[in-house]
């Protein structure tokens, strides 16, 4: 099953008017509005956001990517623990992942100390959490399809011996 073209367009840029979407999809604007409303009501569309360049906006928050190893629960696997972790306000995203760890948790806080405190005092102390490995974000190059800095191209690179 392929994704509805309306959802594909909205995932790229959610600021189109219903009329603009209708023209792009060769639909009636009222039908587009109804479809969007249905998607919002049934939880297909969870929200809308802007992609912000934190450096440009003066954001001093710290982000970290945390690899979490869990003990799966009988009858529930990782779901209950993952949802418990996802509910912390510091958690921006929480994904079940394949590989050497079970969850990838993205956390944001006002400082390295605050993020470290969250990991050591809240995340690591949850029954079922076996281990964590924290990686701090140093710089963003691309998020949600948007490149943060445009490289200046000055033609060909000089060849050196």
* Measured distance CA(125)–CA(84) in Å, rounded: 12
In a domain, 46, yes or no: no
Given a cut of 70, whether residue 161 has pLDDT beyond it is no
- What's the full length of the chain, in residues? 161
Q: At what angle do helices 29-41 and 5-12 cross, to 10 degrees?
A: 80
In a domain, 90, yes or no: yes
Q: Within a 10 A sphere around the Cβ of 17, how many other Cβ atoms? A: 11
For residue 158, give the DSSP letter.
P
Shared domain for 69 and 121, answered yes or no, is yes
In three-state form (DSSP H/G/I as H, E/B as E, the rest C), the secondary structure along 107-155 is: EEECCHHHHHHHHHHHHCCCCCEEEEEEEECCCCCEECCEECCCCCCCC
pLDDT in tens, 66-94: 999 999 988 888 999 999 999 999 999 99
Cα maximum dimension of the chain: 65
- CATH code, domain with 70: 3.30.70.920
Shared domain for 82 and 114, answered yes or no, is yes
In a domain, 18, yes or no: yes
The verdict on pTM exceeding 0.85 is no
Average of pLDDT values for 146-150? Answer: 83
* Measured distance CA(91)–CA(148) in Å, rounded: 23
Range of the domain at 115: 54-138
Given a cut of 90, whether residue 150 has pLDDT beyond it is no
* Measured distance CA(69)–CA(100) in Å, rounded: 8
* Measured distance CA(121)–CA(111) in Å, rounded: 15
């Amino acid at each position: 099953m392929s994704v509805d073209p309306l959802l594909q367009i909205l995932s790229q840029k959610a600021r189109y008017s219903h009329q603009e979407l209708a023209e792009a999809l060769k639909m009636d604007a009222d039908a587009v509005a109804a479809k969007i409303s249905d998607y919002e009501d049934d939880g297909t569309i969870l929200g809308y956001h802007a992609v912000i360049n934190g450096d440009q906006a003066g954001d001093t928050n710290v982000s970290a990517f945390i690899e979490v190893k869990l003990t799966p629960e009988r009858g529930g696997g990782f779901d209950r623990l993952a949802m418990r972790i996802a509910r912390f306000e510091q958690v921006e995203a929480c994904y079940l992942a394949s590989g050497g760890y079970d969850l990838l948790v993205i956390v944001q806080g006002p400082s390295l100390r605050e993020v470290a405190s969250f990991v050591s005092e809240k995340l690591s102390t949850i029954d079922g959490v076996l281990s964590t490995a924290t990686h701090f974000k140093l710089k963003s190059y691309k998020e949600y399809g948007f490149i943060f800095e445009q490289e200046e191209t000055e033609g060909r690179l000089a060849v050196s011996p």
